[in-house]
C-alpha cells in the first residue's frame, strides 16, 4: 500500500492498480482478491456462496415489504431504512430452523414466534419512534385492523416537533406473502386534528380486510403538519413523521 504524492489526487482503477481515498489520505494498492469464477465454483468458498445467497434473499424480502407499504413509507422513513429492514429480514431468516444453510427463508422464519418478534414494533423512521411520539395507550383489533387511541389530548400526549400545528393518523392493514410477493394493503381514512388540549377518541378503521394467505401486518402512521393561511404543509417534508409496524401475525 502506498500514498499518492502528486498534487493531482486520483480515485479509480487503472489496469491492476487501484487509487482510492481513505481516512489516511489518498492511497494506492495493487488490485487483488479472489476471482468471481473461483468463488462461484471452488468448494472452499461454499460458505461464502451460502451467505451471499441468503443475504440476497434478505435484501429482496426487505424490498418486498417496503414496496408493499410505499404509500405510507414515502411520507416517513430515515436515510438508513433500507439497510435496517434488510438486517431485520436476515434475523427473521435465521429463525427458519428447517431449511439447509443457504436456503433459509423469511417466509418460514415468520411462521415462528421468534421470527415475528424481530419485526414487531419496527420503526421505519428512526428519527420519530412511536414510543417517543405517541405518549398514551392505544388498542389494536387484529380482526379488522382497527386502531383506537382513546381520549387523546394532542397537546399533552404527543411528542410534537417544533412548528407543528396539526397531526394526522392513518392505520394500515397489510396481507403480505413473502414467498410469492402477493400483497394487499387496506388503509383507514386519514384523521386530521389540530394540536390543542381538547380530548377526543381517534378511531382508525381500514377500508376492508386485505385478501391473501400471507402474514397479517398492522401499521400506524402519524404525520405532522404546519398550517399557514389555511393550508397545511407537511412539516419538514415528513422528517418527523412516524411509521410503526405494530403487530405481525
Q: Are residues 135 and 215 in the same domain?
A: yes
Give the range of the structural domain holding residue 3, as residue numbers without chain letter: 1-32
CATH of the domain at 204: 2.60.40
Q: Are residues 101 and 165 in the same domain?
A: no
Q: What is the pTM of this model?
A: 0.84
Number of independent structural domains in the chain: 3
Q: Are residues 92 and 183 in the same domain?
A: no
Q: Are residues 63 and 26 in the same domain?
A: no
Spell out the per-residue pLDDT of the chain, length 249, in tens.
555 455 555 565 656 666 666 766 766 565 666 666 765 655 565 566 777 788 899 999 999 999 999 999 998 999 999 999 999 999 999 999 999 999 999 999 999 999 999 999 999 999 999 999 999 999 999 999 999 999 999 999 999 999 999 999 999 999 999 999 999 999 999 999 999 999 999 999 999 999 999 999 999 999 999 999 999 999 998 999 999 999 999
249, 142 contact by CB (below 8 A): yes
Structural domain ending residue among the three candidates 85, 119, 153: 119
CA–CA gap between residue 241 and residue 127 (Å, rounded)? 8
**Other CB atoms within 10 A of residue 85 CB:** 23
Amino acid at each position: 500500500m502506498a500514498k499518492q504524492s502528486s498534487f493531482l489526487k486520483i480515485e479509480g482503477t487503472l489496469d491492476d492498480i487501484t487509487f482510492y481515498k481513505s481516512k489516511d489520505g489518498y492511497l494506492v494498492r495493487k488490485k487483488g482478491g479472489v476471482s468471481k469464477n473461483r468463488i462461484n465454483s471452488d468448494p472452499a468458498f461454499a460458505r461464502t456462496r451460502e451467505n451471499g445467497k441468503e443475504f440476497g434473499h434478505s435484501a429482496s424480502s426487505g424490498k418486498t415489504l417496503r414496496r408493499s407499504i410505499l404509500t405510507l413509507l414515502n411520507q416517513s422513513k430515515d436515510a438508513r431504512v433500507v439497510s435496517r429492514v434488510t438486517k431485520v429480514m436476515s434475523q427473521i431468516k435465521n429463525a427458519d430452523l428447517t431449511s439447509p444453510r443457504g436456503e433459509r427463508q423469511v417466509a418460514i422464519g415468520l411462521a415462528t414466534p421468534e421470527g415475528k418478534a424481530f419485526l414487531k414494533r419496527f420503526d421505519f423512521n428512526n428519527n420519530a419512534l412511536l414510543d417517543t411520539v405517541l405518549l398514551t395507550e392505544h388498542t389494536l383489533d387484529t380482526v379488522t385492523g382497527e386502531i383506537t387511541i382513546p381520549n387523546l389530548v394532542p397537546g399533552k400526549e404527543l411528542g410534537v416537533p417544533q412548528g407543528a400545528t396539526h397531526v394526522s393518523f392513518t392505520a394500515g392493514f397489510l396481507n403480505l406473502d413473502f414467498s410469492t410477493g402477493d400483497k394487499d394493503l387496506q388503509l383507514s381514512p386519514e384523521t386530521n386534528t389540530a394540536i390543542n388540549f381538547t380530548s377526543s377518541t381517534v378511531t382508525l378503521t381500514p377500508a376492508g380486510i386485505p385478501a391473501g394467505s400471507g402474514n397479517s401486518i398492522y401499521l400506524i402512521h402519524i404525520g405532522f403538519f404546519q398550517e399557514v393561511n389555511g393550508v397545511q404543509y407537511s412539516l419538514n417534508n415528513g422528517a418527523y413523521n412516524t411509521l410503526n409496524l405494530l403487530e405481525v401475525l
